[in-house]
Amino acid sequence: MQDVAARAGVSMMTVSRVLSKHHKVRESTRQKVLNAVESLKYKPNISARSLAGSKSYFLGLLYDNPNAGYVNQLLFGALKKCHKKGYNLIVDSFEETSNEAEQMVHSLIEQSRIDGIILTPPICDSTHILEALEQAHIPMVRIAPQSNPQRSAYVCMDDFKAARETTEHLISMGHQKIAIIMGPPDHGASRLRLEGFKQALEDHNLPCPEHYMQEGLFTYQSGFESAERLIDNEDRPTAIFACNDDMAAAVISAAHKYQLNVPADISVAGFDDSPIAATIWPKLTTIRQPTIAMAEKAVELLTQSNQEDPRKYILDYEFIRRDSVAKIPKS
Amino acid sequence: MQDVAARAGVSMMTVSRVLSKHHKVRESTRQKVLNAVESLKYKPNISARSLAGSKSYFLGLLYDNPNAGYVNQLLFGALKKCHKKGYNLIVDSFEETSNEAEQMVHSLIEQSRIDGIILTPPICDSTHILEALEQAHIPMVRIAPQSNPQRSAYVCMDDFKAARETTEHLISMGHQKIAIIMGPPDHGASRLRLEGFKQALEDHNLPCPEHYMQEGLFTYQSGFESAERLIDNEDRPTAIFACNDDMAAAVISAAHKYQLNVPADISVAGFDDSPIAATIWPKLTTIRQPTIAMAEKAVELLTQSNQEDPRKYILDYEFIRRDSVAKIPKS
DNA sequence: CTGAAAGCGCTTACAG
DNA sequence: CTGAAAGCGCTTACAG
């Protein structure tokens, strides 16, 4: 192949240099090579490349997240970017037993000689895994880590800001009695969402009574129970912000149980834009995490050589306005 | 590496033969090699292998299925098996535009020189793609194809039997008034599920009135509307079999709306065991497709050389009994 | 059943 | 900025 490409000008050495960027090649010869590549529809052979070079052109993606939708988007973004960059992705997932974690990391490293690895939550906070990777000198990028931010490059979104914006949207629709169903307190992002919620209320001098703050566990059932407590109360809120979509979906179901129409009688906002958000009815107004973009960015960081970049990237979320929030009826 | 392994006995040629199976090697030397490999923790280099050999050790997985959970499981199974077999998986997904389909297939083939490809529903029924693959002589295995069964090896499950078993479970719980919310009529599996349902009723001499057969579209909303029609009827069924979980989830929500308790007042069964099935409350009794196993089998078929096998594999589903079905109350 | 030679398609130093 | 040589770690024929 190279042989043929070289035919259109120079030595295959030069072709190699053009293809792998970085190197200084005169612009004119560069163009000649590129043209030849184009017209011959030449595709470099990854195997030969990784065999000859020091790089393997393999990247790892490790996950133990049970949320299929989330993992899928991550995968999608990473795959897309890898494809473009000429890399391959080795995907591995953990079972529950975190004991085998280090072992798996080691075998992944040895077997595939990966050039870098992407760690997703919650596994990205495992100190064991961080250590194993550091010792092996494998570059890593973490997605939304909750701890040890200085320990690797990472990409994340601004949960605080997203929660504040959601709450502000509720306020702008005339709601004054807004309740929140929180996530588990030990979950980092969950805490930030609560803070964002509080900030918005404070900014608008709105009260935040104790019984409007329900503790959820990110599960549908916990959301359902919290919603019942909120609805079956003499001081019923007119809007509920659930810290994830599963709980928001449960709120809608609970509202149905109490003959309440969503959003006419009560508004509901979620968080995540998980598959259920667009499945149920009414469709959920929610926050879409930049999951795909985060994965893409992670691959980009791993495939670039200049490690001196800022090591922290905060990507933009998207506020998805659908059908579960309405103006408060004038009473 | 080979060099080191050879040190423990013979030429690297022999080591290669041992590792790649198939070849005739004396059992005693075979063992020596295996021991050496073991003690040196030798891992073959995939790149070198694919460069020297004619095989690329790459398999493709193509999907355009919007159902994240399904794709995820497929991926999981395929990845696991590929890993074990020393293969890599190149994953690609389509956007909506099916025009680019063939083009993508071609670039996938050219770029990665894949040894075989796995096609998932609904893309596995695209005649365009089948043609492109056949012309390129790429071995393929399809997952649950709905048409042209003779055109490739494939793996699937028995939708008819699964639906019949589900219905029979409902009957065994004392239900006699059982309704079905069907899927779209042009969906092959959907039709089989309906047939299985009918068969079970017939076997038990149970009626199947017209108004107990609601047409759904596999969407939550269509399920909700069908459920309302079923519930808000003087001849209300005591059990509803929804042909997928999204619709079954909607049935539960609709039941709540009518102050009906699931499963005390009305039983609900779903199909798929999609993420929503275990998310909502009560959790759905449903059918788990052997998704992971299907993907594993597909990889196995693609990595085996003996193509003379039966080309059709029907894998066992699993009946998942959870909380949405109960005995009919004695009235 | 086993081995010596050549080569897969690229990249790494090393020279110019 | 560009080229000639050697080699990455394996497997393919080809001999014995």
3-state secondary structure chain A: CHHHHHHCCCCHHHHHHHHCCCCCCCHHHHHHHHHHHHHHCCCCCHHHHHHHCCCCCEEEEEECCCCHHHHHHHHHHHHHHHHHHCCEEEEEECCCCCCHHHHHHHHHHHHHCCCEEEECCCHHHCHHHHHHHHHCCCCEEEECCCCCHHHCEEEEECHHHHHHHHHHHHHHCCCCCEEEEECCCCCHHHHHHHHHHHHHHHHCCCCCCHHHEEECCCCHHHHHHHHHHHHCCCCCCCEEEECCHHHHHHHHHHHHHCCCCCCCCCEEECCECCHHHHHCCCCCEEEECCHHHHHHHHHHHHHCCCCCCCCEEEECCEEECCCCCCCCCCC
Domain enclosing residue A276, as ranges: 159-289
Cβ separation B111–A43 shorter than 8 A? yes
Is position B325 within any domain?
A: no
Does B163 share its domain with B285?
Answer: yes
Does A255 share its domain with A213?
Answer: yes
- Looking at the complex, report in whole angstroms how far the Cα of residue A205 sits from the nearest Cα belonging to chain B: 35
**Cis omega before residue A290 (within 30°)?**
no
Strands A318-320 and B140-143, by their bridges, are unpaired
Asked if the Cβ of residue B16 lies within 7 A of any atom of strand D, the reply is yes
Cβ separation A280–B249 shorter than 8 A? yes
Asked if the Cβ of residue A48 lies within 7 A of any atom of strand C, the reply is yes
Task: Inform me whether the pLDDT recorded for A20 exceeds 60.
Answer: yes
Q: Please, are residues A61 and A115 in contact by the beta-carbon 8 Å criterion?
A: no
pLDDT at A53: 83
Cβ separation B47–A46 shorter than 8 A? yes
Q: Which of B46, B50, B68 sits opposite A68 (nearest CB)?
A: B68
Asked if the Cβ of residue B66 lies within 7 A of any atom of strand D, the reply is no
pLDDT at B174: 97
**Dihedral (Cα; B243, B244, B248, B249), 10-degree rounding:** -170
Does A191 share its domain with A211?
Answer: yes
Is position A320 within any domain?
A: no
Does B185 share its domain with B113?
Answer: no
pLDDT band for position B18 (cuts 50, 70, 90): confident
Separation of alpha carbons B245 and A105, rounded Å: 36
* C-alpha A228, offset from chain centre: 31
Asked if the Cβ of residue B122 lies within 7 A of any atom of strand D, the reply is no
Does A276 share its domain with A165?
Answer: yes
Does B170 share its domain with B132?
Answer: no
Q: Is B54 on the interface with A (CB under 8 A)?
A: no
Does A183 share its domain with A257?
Answer: yes
Cβ separation A75–B75 shorter than 8 A? yes
CB neighbours of A65 closer than 8 A, spacing ≥ 6? A71, A120, A121, A122, A123
Q: Which of B45, B72, B79 sits opposite A72 (nearest CB)?
A: B72
Is position B122 within any domain?
A: yes
Asked if the Cβ of residue B13 lies within 7 A of any atom of strand C, the reply is yes
pLDDT at B200: 98
Q: Which of residues 230 through 289 in chain A touch B, CB cutoff 8 A?
A: 246, 249-250, 252-254, 256-257, 259, 275-276, 279-281
Q: Which bin fits B21, alpha (ψ -120 to 50), beta or left (φ > 0)?
A: left
Cβ separation B45–A51 shorter than 8 A? yes
- Domains in chain B: how many in total? 3
Q: How many Cα atoms occupy the beta-carbon half-sphere of A230 within 13 Å?
A: 36
pLDDT band for position A188 (cuts 50, 70, 90): confident
Q: How many Cα atoms occupy the beta-carbon half-sphere of B147 within 13 Å?
A: 9
More confident residue, B10 or B223: B223
Is position A331 within any domain?
A: no
pLDDT at B22: 67
Does A254 share its domain with A194?
Answer: yes
Q: What single-letter amino acid sits at B243?
A: C
Cβ count near A291 (within 10 Å):
25
Separation of alpha carbons A307 and B209, rounded Å: 69
Which of B90, B141, B156 has the alpha carbon at shortest distance from B301?
A: B141
Q: Please, are residues A267 and A173 in contact by the beta-carbon 8 Å criterion?
A: yes
Q: Please, are residues A151 and A119 in contact by the beta-carbon 8 Å criterion?
A: no
The CATH number assigned to the domain holding A190 equals 3.40.50.2300
List the nucleotides on chain C closer than 7 A to a protein CB: 1-5, 7-13
pLDDT at A94: 73
Asked if the Cβ of residue B8 lies within 7 A of any atom of strand C, the reply is no
Cβ count near A168 (within 10 Å):
18
Is position A118 within any domain?
A: yes
Instruction: Tell me the percentage of chain B whose pLDDT exceeds 90.
Output: 52
Which of B224, B226, B221, B225 has the alpha carbon at shortest distance from B180?
A: B226
CB neighbours of B229 closer than 8 A, spacing ≥ 6? B211, B214
Q: Which of A43, A220, A257 sits opposite B280 (nearest CB)?
A: A220
More confident residue, B121 or A251: A251
**pLDDT digits over B163-202, tens only?**
999 999 999 999 999 999 999 998 889 999 999 999 999 9
Strands B178-182 and B213-215, by their bridges, are parallel
Q: Please, are residues B253 and B222 in contact by the beta-carbon 8 Å criterion?
A: no
Cβ count near A198 (within 10 Å):
18
Task: Inform me whether the pLDDT recorded for A168 exceeds 70.
Answer: yes
pLDDT band for position A307 (cuts 50, 70, 90): low
Separation of alpha carbons A139 and A113, rounded Å: 12
CB neighbours of A13 closer than 8 A, spacing ≥ 6? none
Does B273 share its domain with B174?
Answer: yes
Asked if the Cβ of residue B233 lies within 7 A of any atom of strand D, the reply is no
Strands B88-93 and B213-215, by their bridges, are unpaired
Asked if the Cβ of residue A46 lies within 7 A of any atom of strand D, the reply is no
> Separation of CA A7 and C1' D3 in angstroms?
14
Does B171 share its domain with B221?
Answer: yes
**Which chain A residues contact residue B261 at CB under 8 A?**
none
More confident residue, A259 or B54: A259
Does A249 share its domain with A279?
Answer: yes
- Looking at the complex, report in whole angstroms how far the Cα of residue B158 sits from the nearest Cα belonging to chain A: 25
Cβ separation B253–A280 shorter than 8 A? yes
Separation of alpha carbons A150 and A147, rounded Å: 9
In the sheet with A213-215, reading across from the earlier edge strand, the strands are A213-215, A178-182, A239-242, A267-269
In total, the C-beta contacts within 8 angstroms joining chain A to chain B are 104
Separation of alpha carbons B31 and B34, rounded Å: 5
Separation of alpha carbons B167 and B179, rounded Å: 10
Does B16 share its domain with B120?
Answer: no
pLDDT band for position A291 (cuts 50, 70, 90): very high
Residue of B nearest to A260 (CA): B257
Separation of alpha carbons B179 and B228, rounded Å: 12
Q: What single-letter amino acid sits at B308?
A: E
Is position B328 within any domain?
A: no
The CATH number assigned to the domain holding A33 equals 1.10.260.40
Residue at the smallest CA–C1' distance to nucleotide C12: A53
Is position A176 within any domain?
A: yes
Q: Please, are residues A248 and A271 in contact by the beta-carbon 8 Å criterion?
A: yes
Exposure string of A11-32, with b = 16+ CB inside 10 Å and e = fewer, is eeebbbbbbeeeeebeeeebeb
More confident residue, B72 or A229: A229
Task: Inform me whether the pLDDT recorded for B52 exceeds 90.
Answer: no
**Cis omega before residue B282 (within 30°)?**
yes
pLDDT band for position A38 (cuts 50, 70, 90): confident
Q: Is A2 on the interface with B (CB under 8 A)?
A: no
For residue A314, give both structure tokens: 């905060």
Where is mean pLDDT largest: A78-82, A104-108, A315-319? A315-319
pLDDT at B95: 65
For residue B180, give both structure tokens: 């079905």
pLDDT at A40: 79
Cβ separation B93–A73 shorter than 8 A? no
Instruction: Write phi, then psi, for A186 (nearest 5 degrees).
Output: -85, 0
Q: Which nucleotide is nearest to B24 (CA to C1')?
A: C1
**Which chain B residues contact residue A112 at CB under 8 A?**
46
**pLDDT digits over A191-220, tens only?**
999 999 999 999 999 999 999 999 999 999
pLDDT at B169: 98
Task: Inform me whether the pLDDT recorded for B271 exceeds 80.
Answer: yes
Cβ separation B256–A256 shorter than 8 A? yes
Which of A21, A53, A19 has the alpha carbon at shortest distance from A36?
A: A19
pLDDT at A300: 93
**pLDDT digits over B224-235, tens only?**
999 999 999 999
Is position A319 within any domain?
A: no
**pLDDT digits over A120-167, tens only?**
988 899 888 898 888 888 899 999 998 899 999 999 999 999 999 999
Beta strand extents in B124-200 (DSSP E only): 140-143, 153-157, 178-182
Q: Please, are residues B85 and B303 in contact by the beta-carbon 8 Å criterion?
A: yes
Q: Please, are residues A262 and A282 in contact by the beta-carbon 8 Å criterion?
A: yes
**For range B36-63, the mean pLDDT:** 83
Q: Tokens 């900014």 belong to which residue?
A: A203
Q: Tokens 């019923």 belong to which residue?
A: A236
